[in-house]
Amino acid sequence: MTKQGAFIHEIEEQKQLQINGVTDQVLAHLRATNMENRVNGSARSPITSTDQNGNTVVPVTNLSTGTQTNVVIQMNNGNVTRVVQ
């Protein structure tokens, strides 16, 4: 995951909702994830899970090697405090 990918994800998601008239938040999120993957050169799952510590776990596949890793996003009071890749 990259900050560039996260940025384009949010831009595309809001474009889908505010300009393209998409009313389904999940569809907007899936389209945003596709755009994010194109920027990153990787495929991150649009489906995340929560680990035992309350962190968000995002599976990411490196498209050049096929290797899948989990990116763990640590949060505190709604703010990202650490991203472990």
> Which parts of this chain interact with Zn ion (CB under 5 A)?
13, 29, 32
Nearest CB to Zn ion, comparing residues 14 and 67: 14
Residue whose CB is less far from Zn ion, 48 or 67: 48
Shortest reach from residue 23's CB to Zn ion, in Å: 15
Of 29 and 44, CB closest to Zn ion:
29
The least distance separating Zn ion from the CB of residue 65, rounded to whole angstroms, comes to 25
3-state secondary structure 1-66: CCHHHHHHHHHHHHHHHHCCCCCCHHHHHHHHHHHHHHHHCEEECCCCEECCCCCEEEEEEECCCC
